[in-house]
Amino acid sequence: MNIEEFLYGVVKSSVESLYGALDGEQLQIQKTRKEFEGDYTLVVFPLLRRSRKSPEATAAEVGEYLVANCSEISGFNVVKGFLNLSLGVGFWAQRFAEIYGDDNFGTAPATGRTIMIEYSSPNTNKPLHLGHIRNNLLGYSVAQILKANGHNIIKVNLVNDRGIHICKSMLAWKLYGNGETPESSGMKGDHLVGKYYVEFDKHYKEQIKELVAQGKSEDEAKKTAPVMLAAQEMLRKWEAKDPEVYALWETMNGWVYDGFDVTYKALGVDFDKVYYESQTYLLGKSLVEEGLAKGIFFRKEDNSVWIDLTADGLDQKLLLRGDGTSVYMTQDLGTAFRRFEDNKLDDMIYVVGNEQNYHFQVLKLILKKLGYDWSDNIYHLSYGMVELPEGKMKSREGTVVDADDLIADMVSTAREMSKELGKLDGCSDEEADAVSTMVGLGALKYFILKVDPKKTMLFDPRESIDFNGNTGPFIQYTHARICSILRKAKDAGIDRSLQCGDILPVETELIKTLCDYPNVVAAAGESFAPSFIANYAYELAKKFNGYYHDYSILREENTAICAMRLRLAESVAKVLKSAMKLLGIDVPDRM
RNA sequence: GGUUCCGUAGCUCAGUUGGAUAGAGCAACAGCCUUCUAAGCUGUGGGUCGCGCGUUCGAACCGCGCCGGAAUCACCA
């Protein structure tokens, strides 16, 4: 049972029997701040109009009534207009018994809602970088959180596998590659293809420089550089399904997918379905026809199709080129329609960077104008950029942080640190690998997920990521220590039968925090923000460490108290593990 | 210029629907390993919550206006 709902009920009936029925007025009940005595607080200011008494007198009156009529409420105190209520030990013991006995604590029953979430969405011309990491972690974590909230989740990836960018890599490989393959070079496939994308740019720039030296203008040079013309020619051949070009395209994309798979696996993310733009880019044209027929869109003299959104404070937007080919918006309209139709979706979430806020604003608006009400159930989970100390990541300036390099870095840093601290003594190589990987990735994932998605965040690769303080490893460490306590208790044969009467005030604080977990999971799902979970896990771990560091659980001589503490420790470990799972972070039993 | 977002301690970030004296971590300083793992614990210092006005019993949070920053407004995706 939800504590706030329970309290709301008893307080409401008390207030109503004192002052008459409330009509629409909200009672404000919140957790009592830690500097005051009590568990939950009723803010009485809104009631003054009805009680016609001072804040203090009103609070005292309600408090007395509650203590007299509600057995769960053991006492109260009044500070200004705040009525602080204390719940009895028995109440907390009962709550704790429920938490301890519930193996699925924090997960909600099935809702029957089906939600599709699209994330990652890479281009196939270069490897993944730090920005993709934020995208992937957010997408995967939000999917986990929504699943815990009882929804059916379909995770999808839309791969941008066609277009001029991949032709650039293909061309450069053909011209300068000497038949190099991932096998022959020992390079990861996505990195190899990315190398030729850079190679293309190098030659392209050289050719521009030459043309400018010959007296051409910068613009003209950009348009007429031979490699650019060749890349465009290649794209035309691809669209015409030229066998040679198509075969090369398939081969090189295959290399990239092999590379991506390794990165995804390392990050621990996965998908239920992968879409490829080469298969979806023609979708949406029928919707454009529909819009034209309804008079929502209009055609210009050059035959291109547009929508005028100036009345909505936006601009005109192109939906179909003059030659009848589609643009980004066309296919996004088509895929959205197809997805809602095919999967009977209730909601669709796009995890896409905030540079596309405008695009999604327009997408939703157009669908709405076409009469599709499910447009309201499209949610753009927009996240901010990851910036470096020297500013934005620029691929041209070589300041991008490569995903694979970063992951490898984090793991090796974790290993060195573990070794220095002597944590790996007596470990097999396999165990050492497993722990270093968990800790290194835990640090990276937590670091990124604890920040509010919509904010631009700063990442300093030189200082790398902390392992101390409010970090993933701190939570992992707390979990590992609890596991260690439980192992030792088992070895010592300590009796763990529950004695509810022995809960101490410090323990009710912990139980209260545990009680919040289902609410935090629900809130995180509602606002698609894993940061709620991360900050909660830190709060819980910190409380546990604070209370239990200074004295020994195992040396407690009162066996009932000892058992109580063990059960509490075990519950904390379970909830921490569960929270970390929602973040996609593995938790070790020892580290 | 239009639209959207951001501005909280030296730095990185929390702050759930408006509530009590503003919260962590890092960095700095002072303590704590014959007690369950010191990746830890305890304490000290550090703030005009960008600025102003308004709404009300009460504003970091809501409204309006400024200032500063970001993204975007492509027949790219």
Q: Could you tell me the residue ranges of all domains in chain A?
A: 3-87, 119-387, 404-582
Say if residues A443 and A410 touch (Cβ distance below 8 Å): yes
The C1' atom of B61 and the CA atom of A357 lie apart, in whole Å, by 24
pLDDT for res A381 = 95
Mean pLDDT of A105-121: 95
pLDDT in tens, A114-140: 999 999 999 999 999 999 999 999 999
pLDDT for res A153 = 97
Q: What is the ipTM score, two decimals? A: 0.95
Give the architecture-level CATH label for domain A404-582.
Orthogonal Bundle (1.10)
pLDDT in tens, A539-565: 999 999 998 887 788 888 888 888 888
* Residue labelled with tokens 């409420």: A73
Q: Give me the A residues in range 12-51 that sit within 7 A (CB) of strand B.
A: 28, 30-33, 35-36, 38, 41, 43, 45-46
Gap between the Cα atoms of A347 and A207, Å rounded: 49
Q: Is the pLDDT of residue A143 over 80?
A: yes
Choose which CATH entry (3.40.1280.10, 3.40.50.620, 1.10.260.40, 3.40.50.2300) describes domain A119-387: 3.40.50.620
Answer whether CATH 3.30.1360.70 is correct for domain A3-87.
Answer: yes
Q: Is the pLDDT of residue A296 over 80?
A: yes
pLDDT for res A563 = 86
Mean pLDDT of A342-366: 94
Using the CB atom, is residue A384 less than 7 Å from strand B? yes
The C1' atom of B45 and the CA atom of A546 lie apart, in whole Å, by 22
A115 - beta bridge partners? Answer: A153, A347
With a CB cutoff of 8 Å and minimum separation 6, the contacts of A28 are: A42, A43, A46
Per cent of chain A over pLDDT 90 is 71
Q: Give me the A residues in range 435-454 that sit within 7 A (CB) of strand B.
A: 435, 439, 450-452, 454
Beta strand A82-87 pairing with A73-79: antiparallel
The mean-pLDDT minimum among A194-203, A236-245, A385-394, A440-449 falls in: A385-394
pLDDT for res A498 = 66
Mean pLDDT of A381-385: 95
pLDDT for res A379 = 94
Closest residue by Cα to residue A352 from A134, A127, A116, A525 = A134
pLDDT for res A349 = 96
Q: Is the pLDDT of residue A289 over 80?
A: yes
Closest residue by Cα to residue A408 from A121, A127, A125 = A127
pLDDT for res A499 = 66
Q: Is A43 exposed, middle or buried (0-12, 13-18, 19+ CB in 10 A)?
A: middle
The C1' atom of B58 and the CA atom of A32 lie apart, in whole Å, by 17
Q: Is the pLDDT of residue A24 over 80?
A: no
Query: Which of the nucleotides in strand B have any atom less than 7 Å away from a protein CB atom?
Result: 2-7, 11-17, 19-21, 23-27, 35-42, 57-58, 70-77
Mean pLDDT of A495-505: 70
Mean pLDDT of A393-417: 89
Q: Is the pLDDT of residue A102 over 70?
A: yes
Mean pLDDT of A2-19: 87
The mean-pLDDT minimum among A398-402, A474-478, A586-590 falls in: A398-402
Three-state DSSP string of A385-397: CEEECCECCCCCC
Using the CB atom, is residue A223 less than 7 Å from strand B? no
- DSSP-H helix ranges across A102-188: 130-148, 164-176, 182-185
SS3 content of chain A, % helix, strand, coil (to 5): 60, 15, 30
Gap between the Cα atoms of A165 and A252, Å rounded: 13
Q: Is the pLDDT of residue A500 over 70?
A: no
pLDDT for res A501 = 60
Using the CB atom, is residue A535 less than 7 Å from strand B? yes
